[in-house]
Structure 1
Amino acid sequence: MSGHVFISYSHASDAGYVERLAAHLEAAGVAVWFDRDIVSGERWADMIEERIDSCAAFVLVMTPAAKASLWVTREINRAEELGKPILPLLLDGKVFFRLNDVQYEDVTGNRMPSTGYVDRLPKSVTLASPAPRPVKLRGVPVATLTGHTNFVLSVGFSPDGQTLATGSFDRTVRLWNVTDRLRPVSTATLTDHTGSVWSMVFSPDGRTLATGSADDTVRLWDLTDRLRPVATATLTAHTGTVLSVVFSPDGRILATGSTDKTVRLWNVTDRLRPVATATLTDHTDAVRSVVFSPDGQTLATGSADDTVRLWDLTDRQRPVATATLTGHAGEVLSVRFSPDGRILATGSSDKTVRLWDLTDRQRPVATATLTGHAGEVLSVRFSPDGRILATGSSDKTVRLWNVTDPLRPVATATLTGHTDDVNSMSFSPDGQTLVTTSDDKTVRLWN
């Protein structure tokens, strides 16, 4: 891995912040490396040296603990020796004396760095975003997956793009090896749920799958062996169908939305013993969709009460409602943040999609309303580069929109082929494949 940003920090006090920082930078298209696991020995020292030597920029998270860390001192010495660009972040305490002449950004209070800071990162760090290629999606899927015996309600790609998970009204979850997009192979079927599987999500590290069901439970599955997934925990606090599940960017929190009108937050750091940490009760009808912002600081929840609510997660045990988005004339069925966190897309039973500018998350501004679907908008998804929005509908179609300018979205393609409602969608991590699921019992891959 070269051309990345190396993050130097203290494990003793700053690991949680760095997890969120990495997710924030990666969402902005920046390749990041930091020592996620504490490993000792000579080889580890060699790896640290290698990562600093090959990095394009060196980000230092300054705190008193980092200043006292021998490892951080060694890393700074190496970066200075090689003349690496050093971009410090002041998280706590004072600026390091040795870096008094280096421009830094104040992120005290656990804030994420500004857009201006991210823009200062060397050009070689920023991953090139592929141009949207809607002309490639002409309505002819490259593969159709069959095997479910009832409506296919949910779908998700693993972070490495090699595995697809699908959940169905038939009460099963299926895993598919999609390394060869033309010839996907079914690898496992999970049968523990006693109700239809409405929602699912892979953890950011790809090691865990969370599934939500009409049996009112959420199950966690260890995917260390994707041929033989193992159920590790069952979350049982909801009293209605779990319609939406999502991991925080750092993988430590799972949010779940239910027909019981609540959103629950769970600490899943220990995947064998998840702990319920908060219950959000402001919605007055079923919570249809939940999603974390890329920086992990905000949760958006869409409900059958026709509203979207935003929650500040600075204190994850005491989330605070900061805004209520109104304007839809029907249930809000799907919500998604753009990869940079600046735009929220909401799909509704009123057959429209709305885009919201979240520059000020306490005062969101509606920027555009997308019309064209002849049925409920059941699913919305941004491409990884943020340029394309895909919308799936009960009108049996998927529409693609160029949202490079969120004030003036442009419809670019309509995908046809499903013979019933399009319930859910997911882009592959590289953005080159879109997968869709339907009440027609099939899963389609579009290139």
Structure 2
Amino acid sequence: MSGHVFISYSHAADSAYAVKLAEHLTAAGVVVWFDRQVITGDRWSRVIERQIDTCAAFVVVMSPASTQSDWVDREIDQAELVGKPIFPLLLGGKRFFRLAHLQYEDVTGGRMPSAGYVNRLPRSVARVTPAPQSAKLRGVSVATLTDHTAGVFSVGFAVDGHTVATGSFDKTVRLWDITDRLRPVPTAVLTGHTGWVYTVGFSPDGRTMATGSRDKTVRLWDITDRLRPVSIATLTGHTGGVRSVGFSPDGRTLASGSGDKTVRLWDVTDRLRPVLTATLTDHTGELNSVGFSPDGRTLATGSDDETVRLWDVTDRLRPVVTATLTDHADWIWSVGFSPDGRTLATGSGDQTVRLWDITDRLRPVSIATLTDHTGVVNSVGFSPDGQTLATGSDDQTVRLWNVTDRLRPVLAATLTGHNDWVQSVGFSPDGRTLATGSGDKTVRLWN
């Protein structure tokens, strides 16, 4: 995120006011960022520092509690160090002596700042375009799948739209018949993996499912009979957990991304005897996400090294990097192509989603940054018509974005109900149902 307003406040006493303030500024068209969670550690310190360094304005809520807050003091230090304009608000007590030279606004009693105060914020602050009425979406939870005994890391729809697969920290994969979306029925439990199941993926013809696990293997399953799936092959060679798998559109190639910092391409034309065709080694961090473009010519890979790489995989024996996307400021957790192949969405630990125009695969262009999430963005997925993007986050929400205009995405709905991180999102082939998997051990189906 850049061009935002950073809000500094005391978590101990002023959290409720900070939330209302953020809502007030957002309603006025100002993009805001504030730390809604009390998180410690060096990594989170870097997140705070980065958000201050990239903000266009720094708002500090002055109160007796924030006067005593080491965090607020550090945040002001950083804002002054990098020369950010500071706009104090006096919620209670006395104004800060160190900010005595700055004009402040009195908001004692919990008042919101005036229009004059808001208008003083730098014009470089990005403005959010309100969603047109026609762009509003409604997300209604119609069913909750509860059989897993640990967090759900991955969800995926088969091409028939009636089968959902879910992979979990409980080391199992479950198949569900959701023909009746109100009454999903479990059809099978797959138990071959010996570690957490990070990822599931269906072949385009719906006959094969691939699963990747912390046990460093990929398994292929014949799921022609959804009641009796059969393990038909185990792919070995990775030296770290397999966090992402994806079939090419023609179903002949499977990509697997691993904690060993590599991506492997497998020829799965013969499902019983898969063959390793290439190992991609350019990333310097662990791999979290892989995905093929709709035309099958490009593979996108997201890594802990904070980059996304695009690969020309026309020759599956000799893939070539065509571009490296470097605008994110933290780990890349998810990548996803739009159905027309012109747009790539990427979700990151920097709490943002970026949209990229990849019409020219040699010169991708960042065209929009979605900034409403307040936690790591774990998963992104386009609807089949390409008009909606779903994003799931550690902030326990799923957000739906109208991306009809790629340059001006609009937040259309926020889905709440999960009570732990949302790790995976996926649309049904007809676009009418969204499945979401969470650390709360459940999968939710949304209409």
- The separation in 2 between residues aligned to 1:133 and 1:183, in whole angstroms, is 29
Amino acid at match of 1:211: T
User: Aligned pair 1:136/2:138, yes or no?
Assistant: yes
Partner residue in 1 for 2:282? 282
Q: Is the 8 A contact 1:287 1:304 kept in 2?
A: yes
Pairs within 5 Å for 1:259-270: 259-270=259-270
- The separation in 1 between residues aligned to 2:300 and 2:187, in whole angstroms, is 33
User: 2:290 is paired with a residue of what secondary structure?
Assistant: strand
Partner residue in 1 for 2:254? 254
Please give the per-residue CA displacement for 1:2-26, whole angstroms capped at 9, x wherever unaligned. xxxxxxxxxxxxxxxxxxxxxxxxx
Whichever of the two has the greater Rg, that structure is 2
Deviation at 1:136?
A: 2.8
Deviation at 1:386?
A: 0.3
Deviation at 1:313?
A: 1.1
Amino acid at match of 1:270: D
Deviation at 1:135?
A: 3.0
Partner residue in 2 for 1:374? 374
- The separation in 2 between residues aligned to 1:151 and 1:439, in whole angstroms, is 4
Pairs within 5 Å for 1:225-244: 225-244=225-244
Please give the per-residue CA displacement for 1:250-308, whole angstroms capped at 9, x wherever unaligned. 00000000000000000000000000000000000101000000000000000010000
Please give the per-residue CA displacement for 1:335-390, whole angstroms capped at 9, x wherever unaligned. 00000000000000000000000111000000000001010000000000000000
Partner residue in 2 for 1:198? 198
- The separation in 2 between residues aligned to 1:237 and 1:133, in whole angstroms, is 47
Partner residue in 1 for 2:299? 299
Partner residue in 1 for 2:365? 365
Residues 132, 338 of structure 1: alpha-carbon distance in 2 compared, 3 angstrom cutoff = farther
Amino acid at match of 1:240: G
- The separation in 2 between residues aligned to 1:224 and 1:439, in whole angstroms, is 29
User: Aligned pair 1:393/2:393, yes or no?
Assistant: yes
Partner residue in 2 for 1:354? 354
Identity of aligned residues (%): 72
Residues 133, 234 of structure 1: alpha-carbon distance in 2 compared, 3 angstrom cutoff = farther
- The separation in 2 between residues aligned to 1:350 and 1:135, in whole angstroms, is 26
User: Aligned pair 1:221/2:218, yes or no?
Assistant: no
User: 1:256 is paired with a residue of what secondary structure?
Assistant: strand
Q: Is the 8 A contact 1:222 1:231 kept in 2?
A: yes
Q: Is the 8 A contact 2:347 2:379 kept in 1?
A: yes
Q: Is the 8 A contact 2:368 2:409 kept in 1?
A: yes
Deviation at 1:134?
A: 4.8
- The separation in 2 between residues aligned to 1:323 and 1:135, in whole angstroms, is 34
- The separation in 1 between residues aligned to 2:228 and 2:396, in whole angstroms, is 34
TM-score of the aligned structures, taking structure 1 as reference length: 0.70
Q: Is the 8 A contact 1:134 1:400 kept in 2?
A: no
Partner residue in 1 for 2:185? 185
Please give the per-residue CA displacement for 1:217-247, whole angstroms capped at 9, x wherever unaligned. 0000001111000000000010001000000
Q: CA RMSD in A?
A: 1.1
User: 2:141 is paired with a residue of what secondary structure?
Assistant: coil
- The separation in 1 between residues aligned to 2:135 and 2:251, in whole angstroms, is 31
Please give the per-residue CA displacement for 1:41-63, whole angstroms capped at 9, x wherever unaligned. xxxxxxxxxxxxxxxxxxxxxxx
Deviation at 1:408?
A: 0.5
- The separation in 2 between residues aligned to 1:224 and 1:142, in whole angstroms, is 27
Q: Is the 8 A contact 2:292 2:299 kept in 1?
A: yes
Q: Is the 8 A contact 1:132 1:387 kept in 2?
A: no
Gaps of 5+ in 1: 1-130
Deviation at 1:132?
A: 8.5
User: Aligned pair 1:413/2:413, yes or no?
Assistant: yes
Amino acid at match of 2:137: V
Please give the per-residue CA displacement for 1:129-161, whole angstroms capped at 9, x wherever unaligned. xx9975331xx4100001100000001000010
Q: Is the 8 A contact 1:132 1:388 kept in 2?
A: no
User: 1:240 is paired with a residue of what secondary structure?
Assistant: coil
- The separation in 2 between residues aligned to 1:290 and 1:134, in whole angstroms, is 30
- The separation in 1 between residues aligned to 2:274 and 2:407, in whole angstroms, is 41
Q: Is the 8 A contact 1:161 1:428 kept in 2?
A: yes
User: 1:142 is paired with a residue of what secondary structure?
Assistant: strand
User: 1:136 is paired with a residue of what secondary structure?
Assistant: coil
Amino acid at match of 1:222: D
Pairs within 5 Å for 1:112-191: 134-137=136-139, 140-191=140-191
Partner residue in 2 for 1:55? none
- The separation in 2 between residues aligned to 1:327 and 1:135, in whole angstroms, is 29
Please give the per-residue CA displacement for 1:106-128, whole angstroms capped at 9, x wherever unaligned. xxxxxxxxxxxxxxxxxxxxxxx
Deviation at 1:434?
A: 0.3
Q: Is the 8 A contact 2:135 2:402 kept in 1?
A: no
Q: Is the 8 A contact 2:203 2:251 kept in 1?
A: yes
- Runs of 4+ in structure 1 off by over 6 angstroms are none
Partner residue in 1 for 2:441? 441
Partner residue in 2 for 1:315? 315
Residues 132, 274 of structure 1: alpha-carbon distance in 2 compared, 3 angstrom cutoff = farther
- The separation in 2 between residues aligned to 1:397 and 1:249, in whole angstroms, is 30
User: 1:219 is paired with a residue of what secondary structure?
Assistant: strand
- The separation in 2 between residues aligned to 1:264 and 1:419, in whole angstroms, is 35
Gaps of 5+ in 2: 1-132
